[in-house]
Chains A and B, each alone.
Chain A
Amino acid sequence: MRALFAFLSGGLFGLGLLVSGMVDTTKVQGWLDLFGDWDPTLAFVLGGAVLPMMLVWRLAEGRRPALGGFFPPKPPARIDRGLVLGSVLFGAGWGLAGLCPGPAMASVTFGGWGGLVFLAAMVAGMLIAVPLRSRLDAMPRPALSSPR
């Protein structure tokens, strides 16, 4: 049952990424290109996804997921090094090629060799991140993060 709804959600997500244009790297790079021919399409994509989800989070309050368990608790408002460093690296890669993880998977069947190479490199990066993350966690905390 969990797998069925996960499949449906993944399929709908993929369809949305295809329809919205998130799989088109020129549209993504056009959105990031503030100093060139800026393309505002992604603002509509983000708005379309975020606004209904705001209502959904409110709906979830005080309830439990349909298939049992609990909703994920809100993480503490802590901006740590991993979040900043990781987001900057991710943003650089996103800008370079115009693909983020969702669209990379959604377009892999029709994105040609380049799409396959991107996905393989992304998976390799995810494996490289495992030792990097534990090293980051082991380092003493700088002033950026509040002590907990």
Chain B
Amino acid sequence: MPIDWILGLAGGLMIGAAAALYLLVNGRIMGASGILGGLVDGSGRDSWSERAAFVAGLVLVPGLVALAGFGRETNLTGNLWVVIAAGLLVGIGTRIANGCTSGHGVCGISRFSVRGIAATVFYLLAGGATVWLFRHVLGVI
């Protein structure tokens, strides 16, 4: 639907602006998994306040917007086993690969990083194969 595409583009521009701000002002890569991962496993101890502030903004601002009545349905599956398995895979995978959709995807591709582009190809292929298998073959999701 075209309205979804326009919202997607507008939201994408905001994501790009956020990455630009974090890079040009703080001098850091805006990678969601790296920022949170360094906070929870202690590897980012020397920059914990910056990481915690980023996570606080990321959680609170959409929370306030949702509270004001402009939230969005996440439509997450009600199958808790799928949710747990998916969460574990996302947590393990992004930390082993050292990045996710924001770090490797947005920040990596835009600087023509070979690692960022390769990671994006692999997680898109794996995501596509997973949706095909679990939706069209097994009918779980």
Partner of A91, one of B8, B11, B91, B123: B123
Q: Which residues of chain B are near A27, meaning CB under 8 Å?
A: 4
Interface size on B, residues (CB 8 A): 109
How far is A115 from B111 in the complex, measured between Cα atoms in Å? 32
Contact pick for A13, options B7, B18, B84, CB 8 Å = B18
Q: Across the interface, name the chain B residue whose C-beta is closest to A100.
A: B101
- How many Å lie between the Cα of A88 and that of B93 in the bound state? 7
Chain B, residues 7-18, CB within 8 Å of chain A (1/0): the string is: 111111111111
A8-52: which have CB < 8 Å to B?
8-27, 29, 32-36, 39-52
A13-B93 contact, Cβ under 8 Å, with A20-B11, A83-B119, A114-B83:
no
Kindly report which residue of chain B lies nearest to residue A89, judged by CB atoms: B93
Q: Write the nearest CB–CB distance from A113 to chain B, whole angstroms.
A: 8
Interface class of chain A by DSSP:
helix
Contact yes or no, B26 A2, CB < 8 A: yes
The distance in angstroms between the C-alpha atoms of A10 and B111, with both chains bound, is: 21
Report yes or no: A9 in contact with B76, Cβ–Cβ below 8 A.
no
Q: Roughly how many angstroms separate A121 CA and B111 CA in the complex, as a whole number? A: 31
A52-101 with Cβ < 8 A to chain B: 52-54, 56-57, 59-60, 64-72, 74-75, 77-79, 82-101
Would A48 and B10 count as touching, CB distance under 8 A? Answer: yes
Q: For B109, what are the chain A residues with a Cβ–Cβ distance below 8 Å?
A: 46, 50
Known contacts: A25-B77, A117-B83. The answer to whether A84 contacts B62 by CB under 8 A is no
Task: Encode A106-122 as 1/0 by CB contact (under 8 A) with B.
Answer: 11111110110111111
Point out the residue from A48, A59, A74, A109 that lies within 8 Å of B11, measured CB to CB: A48
Asked if residues A7 and B56 are in contact (CB atoms below 8 Å), the reply is yes
Q: CA–CA, A75 to B114, complex, Å?
A: 9
Q: Are B33 and A101 in contact (CB under 8 A)?
A: yes
Establish whether residues A84 and B32, one from each chain, have CB atoms under 8 Å apart when the complex forms: no
Across the interface, B96 reaches (CB within 8 A) one of A4, A22, A89, namely A89
User: Which residues from A are CB-within-8-Å of B18?
Assistant: 9-13, 16
Given A20-B10, A121-B88: A72 and B124 interface contact (C-beta under 8 Å)? no
Provide a sorted-by-A list of 8 A–B residue pairs whose CB atoms are within 8 angstroms: A18-B66, A20-B8, A33-B128, A51-B110, A114-B80, A122-B87, A125-B95, A133-B95
Please give the residue numbers on chain B whose beta carbons come within 8 Å of chain A beta carbons, in ascending order.
Answer: 4-30, 32-33, 36-37, 40-41, 49-63, 65-67, 70-78, 80, 82-98, 100-102, 104-107, 109-111, 113-115, 118-120, 122-132, 134-136, 141
